[in-house]
Amino acid sequence: MNIPEPLELLIEELSKLPTIGKKTAQRLALYLLRSDQAYVDKLTEALLNIKIKLVACERCYNISLDSLCDICKSPKRDHKLICVVEDINDIIAIERTNEFNGHYHVLGGVLSPLAGKDADSIRLKELIDRIRNSDVTEVLLALNPDTEGETTSLYIAKLLKEFPLRISRIARGLPVGGNLEFADEATIGRAVLNRIEL
């Protein structure tokens, strides 16, 4: 038996999604086939709506319902502090902590020569224009603590040298609730170097 074309097509489209392999796609497609019409309708409507209703904030490139996102519009947020992140995912993660009250800037990637990402393909020019035309006093770099993130952080720090700014980076150290015994040397090393006086 060949899988009927409509199902085969859905499996194909689903398996293009990240973390979804061919087998999971098949499982999802069969689940959707069995589930009621109301659910499939709600899912397709939700899918179409993100494209219709959401745009990128014209200032920080966060997702937004209007030309400016909730964070950029809020009078309660400190517009002198900009947190630079790779992706919208990272904004959601940082917002969940309730520890940051500034604005954001979404780069849309990090420098990665192997993946063909250079300084022009991430939003660095937009960041510099934004800093030039505002009274920003601190830029917090919140990129992933991996090679590409570190490289990008150093590159941005160097680029921003010309402005009278405080440039900071999120701390490296032991994860809260973690265990010293099981942490890797690089992390413990950073935690020792970046020790904080009590």
Using the contact rule CB under 8 A, the part of the chain among 90-98, 123-131, 142-150, 171-179 near its own copies is 90-98
Which of 22, 58, 80, 89 lies at the binding interface for its own copies (CB under 8 A)?
Answer: 89
71 near its own copies, judged by CB under 8 A: yes
DSSP 3-state assignment of 102? strand
**Looking at 87-95, 124-132, 140-148, 189-197, which segment touches its own copies (CB under 8 A)?**
87-95
Give min distance, CB of 190 to its own copies, in A: 26
CB of 80 to its own copies, least distance (A): 18
97 binds its own copies (CB under 8 A): no
- Segment contacting its own copies by CB under 8 A, of 84-92, 142-150, 175-183, 186-194: 84-92
Which residue type occupies 111? L
How far apart (Å, rounded) are the C-alpha atoms in residues 155 and 60? Answer: 19
Burial (CB count <10 Å: 0-12, 13-18, 19+), residue 1: exposed
Closest CA to 172 of 193, 198, 151: 193
Q: Which of 22, 33, 146, 186 binds its own copies (CB under 8 A)?
A: 33
Tell me if residue 164 falls in helix, strand or coil: coil
Binding-site size for its own copies (CB under 8 A) equals: 54
85 near its own copies (CB under 8 A):
no
2 contacts its own copies (rule: CB under 8 A): yes
Q: Using alpha carbons, list the distances in angstroms from residue 124 to 18, 50, 52, 100, 102.
A: 26, 26, 27, 22, 19
Residue 52: burial class (beta carbons within 10 Å; 0-12, 13-18, 19+): exposed
Of the pair 28, 167, the CB lying nearest its own copies is at 28
Report helix, strand or coil for 194.
coil
In the bound state with its own copies, the residue whose beta carbon lies nearer, of 21 and 189, is: 21
How far, CA to CA in Å, does 71 sit from each of 45, 92, 105, 108? 26, 12, 11, 18
Q: Which residues of this protein are in contact with its own copies, per CB under 8 A?
A: 1-7, 9-10, 12-14, 16-20, 24, 26-33, 37, 39-40, 42-44, 46-54, 62-65, 69-71, 87-89, 91-92, 95
